């Protein structure tokens, strides 16, 4: 099988699959139009986020048997058309769920215990104790929306903090020893901390908006390591200003480019997030650790071999 690599990934992908007889071509720079001209020659592609795999692309990919995304989200792919065309879709959320879970906890602890603010103050010669009094996770209720690979890994990490973890998901009966499944109404009533773990779809676009925030019974902390467009930033900013959202930890922003490489817009809401003491922003790195780079690649290799090793 001939495979086209469109993004740089861990070398173990080519190393392990070459041994099994797969042939590779790397192309990390050609624009969409140039890839289109040659995509018909390949049986598989391995991608991250650089090039959108839309219907036009798939129509040119006459011999494509699979698309492997090194990561969790599939929004850069026309999934419906790919399935209709008999193309296997492979992703690897198992590979970076632990990284995401640690990032969630890290951001939340920094936010609630004012670790970054107080550290910067001390480095600048300011010694404030009462003003930097923290807030504990112990005894609080953590509400997760989405209980797939990421949600489960996050719940597991919270289990040692002496808090109650609840979640809402569209699939029934998926609770476990780390979290209890509840209705969305119950989650809104009980959660002190809200963390979302959702793909981006028509239903989840702007799921966190003014209406949702106003339906939360308590003032709450908000964490987003999913997708920027799950959240209507303008409504989040209003809630931060009013105090309804006590603090926000954001690894993803509505204003990112589709490739996630950088931000594509400047506006007042973004400026507020970047300047507010109540907000932590990281550059879409929750899933990026030394270990996850390797694990993501290994999951992709294992899934490709499970389906195509006899070809």
- 256 as an active site residue: the answer is yes
Active site residue 48: no
Residue of 45, 99, 24 whose CA lies nearest to 296: 99
Catalytic option among 103, 168, 197, 284: 284
- 22 vs 19: CA distance, rounded Å: 7
- Grouping H, G, I as helix, E, B as strand and the rest as coil, residue 187 is helix
Catalytic residue among 50, 97, 114, 227: 227
Residue owning tokens 């989840």: 204
Tokens read off for 290: 């030394």
Marked catalytic residue, from 256, 261, 277, 311 = 256
Q: What is the arrangement of strands in the sheet containing 164-168, beginning at the earlier edge strand?
A: 180-181, 164-168, 141-145, 193-196, 220-224, 245-250, 279-281
| DSSP 8-state secondary structure symbol assigned to residue 240 | H
Residue 101 — φ and ψ, nearest 5°? -60, -45
Beta strand ranges found along 150-309 (DSSP E): 164-168, 180-181, 193-196, 220-224, 245-250, 279-281
Residues catalogued as catalytic: 227, 256, 284
């Amino acid at each position: 099988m001939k495979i086209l690599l469109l993004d740089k990934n861990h070398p173990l992908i080519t190393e392990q699959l070459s041994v099994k007889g797969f042939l590779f071509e790397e192309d990390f720079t050609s624009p969409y139009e140039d890839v289109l001209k040659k995509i018909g020659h390949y049986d598989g592609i391995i991608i991250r986020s650089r090039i959108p795999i839309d219907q036009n692309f798939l129509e040119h990919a006459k011999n494509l048997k699979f698309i492997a995304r090194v990561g969790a989200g599939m929004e850069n792919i026309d999934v419906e058309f790919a399935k209709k065309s008999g193309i296997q879709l492979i992703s690897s959320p198992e590979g970076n769920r632990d990284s995401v879970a640690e990032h969630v906890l890290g951001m939340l602890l920094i936010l609630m215990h004012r670790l970054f603010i107080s550290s910067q103050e001390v480095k600048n010669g300011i010694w404030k104790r009462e003003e930097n009094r923290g807030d504990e996770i112990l005894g609080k209720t953590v509400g997760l929306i989405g209980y797939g690979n990421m949600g489960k890994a996050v719940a597991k990490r919270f289990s040692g903090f002496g808090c109650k973890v609840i979640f809402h998901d569209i699939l029934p009966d998926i609770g476990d020893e780390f979290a209890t499944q509840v209705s969305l109404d119950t989650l809104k009533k009980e959660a002190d901390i809200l963390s979302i773990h959702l793909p981006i779809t028509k239903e989840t676009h702007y799921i966190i908006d003014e209406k949702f925030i106003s339906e939360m019974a308590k003032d709450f902390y908000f964490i987003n390591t999913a997708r920027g467009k799950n959240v209507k930033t303008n409504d989040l900013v209003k809630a931060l200003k009013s105090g309804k959202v006590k603090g926000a930890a954001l690894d993803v922003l509505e204003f990112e480019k589709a490739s996630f490489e950088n931000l594509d817009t400047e506006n007042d809401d973004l400026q507020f997030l970047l300047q507010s003491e109540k907000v932590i922003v990281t550059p879409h790195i929750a899933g990026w650790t030394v270990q996850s780079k390797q694990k993501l690649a290994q999951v992709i290799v294992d899934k490709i071999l499970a389906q195509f090793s006899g070809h």
